[in-house]
Amino acid sequence: MSTVLEHQVEIDRPVGDVFAYLDDVSHAQDWLYGLRSIEPVGEQVSGVGAAYDGVIVVGVELSTRIECTAWEQDRLIELTSTDGIRNTQRWTFEAIDAERTRVGARVEYALPGGPAGAVMGRAMKPFVGVAVRQTSRRLVRNLEAQAA
């Protein structure tokens, strides 16, 4: 069974700046709540086919490899797991006007079945909502601080 989380945030920065910040994996630990580590796999670090090994802590520590499966300049970044916990992150970018951007996040994940999945689900539940809110706050704070 999959769990889907969706959230939107508005940022006082042009869409190109916001997209570039999220697309640059070197910034990920600054804004993605619970991210313990992320490392590119290979030379490609952006666009369809770029892959990353990461560890995130949301009540439990989860290791996974993700790959960029969709990428459109200033519009879309989608990352899908290729091992570990099955998950997909879809980030959309919309220019509200020349200086404001709406970022949409859709995260879908599925835990393993049986007792292990049930234990993981109970451990993760209180952290997932916090992670979404904190990630949104960090994105807004970091990007708007760059403009100041």
**How high is the pLDDT of residue 31?**
94
Tokens of 126: 């209180």
Over residues 6-56, the pLDDT tens digits come to 899 999 999 999 999 999 999 999 999 989 999 999 999 999 999 999 998
The number of distinct structural domains making up the chain is 1
Q: Where are the beta strands (DSSP E) in 34-119?
A: 35-41, 51-57, 61-72, 76-84, 86-97, 100-110
Residue 148 has pLDDT above 90, yes or no: no
Which domain covers residue 11, as residue numbers?
A: 2-147
Residue 144 carries which DSSP code? H
Residue 140 has pLDDT above 90, yes or no: yes
Q: What is the CATH number of the domain that holds 47?
A: 3.30.530.20
Provide the 3-class DSSP secondary structure of residue 84.
strand
pLDDT-derived band at 113, boundaries 50, 70, 90: confident
Please state, for a pLDDT cut of 70, what percent of the chain lies above it. Answer: 97
**How high is the pLDDT of residue 1?**
66
